Amino acid sequence: SQKIEQNSEALNIQEGKTATLTCNYTNYSPAYLQWYRQDPGRGPVFLLLIRENEKEKRKERLKVTFDTTLKQSLFHITASQPADSATYLCAGYGNNRLAFGKGNQVVVIP
Amino acid sequence: DTGVSQDPRHKITKRGQNVTFRCDPISEHNRLYWYRQTLGQGPEFLTYFQNEAQLEKSRLLSDRFSAERPKGSFSTLEIQRTEQGDSAMYLCASSPREQVLNYGYTFGSGTRLTVV
């Protein structure tokens, strides 16, 4: 079955550093990958997407890459701030819907 | 339009009771999705509608679950004879079909169900 895998361990990072999260997919080829932010008790909020024919996408301090050979996407938060502390979800689009990974918790330490 | 609304935000019910949740999507979005999320997990797909037509249901959705979207506007998700394993956050999301490849889903804040 379609699977999106994220390392479920929390990432603790010092303010100002770059946080990097990994998303791997198996058993399908998503047309695009999306990244969401989720705060406790809230629904996910869309951040950005990257298509399979795009190598890299940027939005403000966020950068996403898509490597179809490795079947992997990397998500970077540069110059991280305490307000970036949240869970980040990777999702792959295929068969008319999104399949989500478990998410990665990021904690930015002041 | 203030986004996707879900009601109630929290629901505590006794095992065996029926519950119904409501979702009001963004008015111009013709696609509506239901997901379920348990602690420490990502959202799991349950079902989706395009306008009033329910186009797909996950195998996760047992016979006790039913969803409707009359007139292609709001949607309801009903769980009959609730079990403790149904305890989860139920998330609704909407998107415009024509732009689904350009924009993400807009999620509501979810309904937290606790079955005791």
What's residue A97's pLDDT? 82
Q: Is B70 exposed, middle or buried (CB count within 10 Å of its CB: 0-12, 13-18, 19+)?
A: exposed
Nearest residue, CB atoms, B104 vs list A34, A41, A101? A34
**Contact: A97, B56; criterion CB under 8 Å:** yes
Mean pLDDT for A28-55 is: 91
Using CA coordinates, name the residue in chain A closest to B112. Answer: A41
Using CA coordinates, name the residue in chain A closest to B88. Answer: A41
**Contact: A102, B93; criterion CB under 8 Å:** no
pLDDT tens digits for range B3-24: 999 999 999 999 999 999 999 9
The CA distance from B45 to A50, in Å, is: 21
Q: Is A34 helix (H, G, I), strand (E, B) or coil?
A: strand
Q: Which amino acid is at A98?
A: L
pLDDT tens digits for range A3-41: 899 987 899 999 999 999 999 998 878 888 999 999 999
- Best of B29, B32, B37 to substitute, by most chain A Cβ atoms within 10 angstroms, is B37
Q: How far is B105 from chain A (nearest CA, A)?
A: 7
What's residue B82's pLDDT? 97
What's residue B103's pLDDT? 78
pLDDT tens digits for range A63-103: 999 999 999 999 999 999 999 999 999 999 887 788 999 99
Q: Which residues pair with B4 in a beta bridge?
A: none
Mean pLDDT for B82-99 is: 91
Residue B1 has pLDDT above 60, yes or no: no
**Contact: B44, A100; criterion CB under 8 Å:** yes
Nearest residue, CB atoms, A31 vs list B35, B101, B109? B101
Confidence of residue B37 (pLDDT cuts 50, 70, 90): very high
Q: What mean pLDDT is reported for chain B?
A: 92
